[in-house]
Amino acid sequence: MAANGTLVIRGGRVIDPSQRLDRVADIVIDDGHVAAIDPPDGQLPLGDPTVVDARGLVVAPGLVDIHAHLRVPGFEYKEDLASGTRAAAAGGFTTVCAMPNTNPVIDSRSVVEYVLEQAAADAVVRVHVLAAISLGQAGEQLVEMGDLSDAGAIGFTDDGIPVASSKLMRHALEYATQLGRPISNHAEDRALTAGTAMHEGLTSMRLGLPGTPRQAEEIMLARDLLLAELTGGRYHCIHVTSGGSVDFIRRAKDRGANVTAEVSPHHLTLTDDLVAGRTEPVSAALPPYDANTKVAPPLREQRDCDALLEALRDGTIDCIATDHAPHALHDKDLEFAHAAVGFTGLETALPLVLTLVHDGRLDLVEAVRRLTVEPARCYDLPGGTLQPGQPADVTVFDPDEEFVVEPSLLLSKGKNTPLAGMPMHGVVHRTFVDGVEVFNRASLEPVGARAG
């Protein structure tokens, strides 16, 4: 399919919260841009357009993921830009933001450029890059934020390693004010997380696994939010997991701090008891101590999920981000204490969020908002919208279609999911970037490649 032809996505339920749109319509795409959103089944434009039948399906702006570990450079055995962005497309994402905890760390212009060059060559969706806050993520010396920003870094984070020094965090926030780029931090107090492997609670006590209390996150997040107030710096809270953290974010926003926040699909929907294993449904049975349930920050309890959902609904938490963290089998098939942390997430994010929609706890339009325009806003990214004139990044999905999570069928190299065998709802049928189809479920293979 050529980017410079005309494409009509016909008869789908078009949900675009950026323009308060939720109605059945045809989307006309011309030269890779949204040309018009027309009443359904009208006359086709001239020039023999390609027609995609989207009747019965949702047509939304391509999803935007502002938190993904694409593992390039250095950990290509876990993921590379080809596999990671194909996984993204299969999950309905048309934009992914790569985290800098790579080897070497993304802390210099040359590494940013390398990743963006790799993306230009291999990626099927848009790739943005975050850079580290400190050189080598060592928590000591600031990176050249100006140069990195000029090279394309959209924000700064030592994600994976908390910035322990309050002083360094203060200066990062201060220094970045000139650039307008957000700072984010893996907010976990390392004195409280040392040697731990899961959330501290009754389950960790039963399993004999040292646990991390919520306060490990809350203490550091509260500090960061106070420093954001002090400096006027722009701070983005990543992978928020606890109800207490939500209270701190709400307070900071009320006080006018320049703060945004994201939550992962798994922290919204899964709880720490998974570490003790799962027997129901049988197809998705998990043994106890399965490292595919290990993630940092850890899965918490239902009351946290409830508080996070409430915060997402009232806007305290702005958006959903996957924290896609692919790992190889040998990173995970280990003692629980030694296994790598994280879930492969790009291809299960939408179905996990849709569990909340199917339970009647989250409106579908709201879900789309938190996966499109809102994450884009957190980093001032284009995309997440179907406004006429904008690049035609579109995802077409069936929110009700059932499927069973089969790790071997995931396009990501990372098969590390606690959802193996789980029946879920929500299947992405097609994904378009710049009007080019980059994923088509029917062919079970991504097709085409993004132009340029």
Partner 1 sequence: MPLHRRHLIDVADFSRDEFDTVLDTAVSMRQVLDRPIRRVPTLRGKSIVNMFFEPSTRTRVSFELAGKSLSADVVNVAASGSSVEKGESLVDTFHTIQALGADMVIIRHACAGVPDLAARHLDCGVVNAGDGLRGHPSQALLDLFTVREHAGDLEGLKMVIVGDMLHSRVARSDIWAFARMGAHVYLSGPPTVLPPDFGNLLNGDGMVRVEYDLDRAIEGADVVMALRIQKERMAGGLLPDLREYARRWGINPARLRRADRQVLLMHPGPMNQGIEISSDVAYGEQSVITEQVTNGVAVRMAILYLLLTGAH
> Does residue number 28 form part of the binding site for partner 1 (CB under 8 A)?
no
Task: Give yes or no for residue 190 binding partner 1 (CB under 8 A).
Answer: no
Supply the minimum distance, in Å, between the C-beta of residue 290 and partner 1.
Answer: 8
| Of 2 and 194, CB closest to partner 1 | 194
The token pair at 222 is 């509260």
Q: Which of 55, 167, 190, 338 binds partner 1 (CB under 8 A)?
A: 338
The residue range among 179-187, 207-215, 235-243, 428-436 that interacts with partner 1, by the rule CB under 8 A, is: 207-215
Comparing CB distances to partner 1, the nearer of 120 and 334 is 334
DSSP assignment letter at 142:
B
323: annotated active-site residue: yes
Burial class of 27 by CB neighbour count within 10 A (0 to 12, 13 to 18, 19+) = buried
Helices (H), 275-389: 302-314, 329-332, 349-358, 364-371, 373-378
**Position 337 contacts partner 1 (CB under 8 A):** yes
Candidate list 120, 121, 138, 202; residue touching partner 1; CB under 8 A: 202
CB atoms within 10 A of CB 336: 17
Applying the rule CB under 8 A, the residues between 231 and 290 that interact with partner 1 are 287-289
Number of residues that bind partner 1 (CB under 8 A): 18
The residue (of 36 and 337) whose beta carbon lies closer to partner 1 is 337
Look up residue 297 and give its amino acid.
P
Under rule CB under 8 A, residue 42 binds partner 1 = no
Q: How far apart are CA 180 and CA 188, in angstroms?
A: 25
- List CB contacts of 230: < 8 A, sequence separation 6 or more: 170, 173
Q: Which residues, in sequence order, are bridge partners of residue 445?
A: 440
Contact mark string toward partner 1, 292..331, x via CB under 8 A: --------------------------------------x-
Q: How far is the CB of 199 from partner 1 (least distance, A)?
A: 13
Q: Which of 335, 360, 389, 408 binds partner 1 (CB under 8 A)?
A: 335
Q: Which stretch binds partner 1 (CB under 8 A): 78-86, 197-205, 348-356, 369-377?
A: 197-205
Q: Taking the CB of residue 174, how many other CB atoms lie within 10 A of it?
A: 16
Closest approach, Cβ 200 to partner 1, in A, equals 9
In contact, 419 and 409? CB cutoff 8 Å: no
Q: Is 333 in the site for partner 1 (CB under 8 A)?
A: yes
Q: What is the DSSP letter of 298?
A: P
**Phi, psi (5° rounding) for residue 10?**
-100, 135
User: Binder to partner 1 among 120, 121, 230, 334 (CB under 8 A)?
Assistant: 334
Among 136, 210, 421, 448, binds partner 1 (CB under 8 A): 210
Which of residues 206, 285, 302, 451 is near partner 1 by CB under 8 A?
206
d(CA 183, CA 43): 48
Catalytic residue among 323, 393, 398, 434, which?
Answer: 323
To 5 degrees, how large is the angle CA 194–CA 158–CA 65? 110
- The CB density around residue 61, as the number of other CB atoms within 10 Å, is 32
C-alpha span between 83 and 89 (Å, rounded): 10
Using CA atoms, how far apart are residues 353 and 349, in angstroms rounded to an integer?
Answer: 6
Residues forming the site for partner 1 (CB under 8 A): 201-202, 205-210, 287-289, 330, 333-338
Looking at the annotation, which residues are catalytic? 323
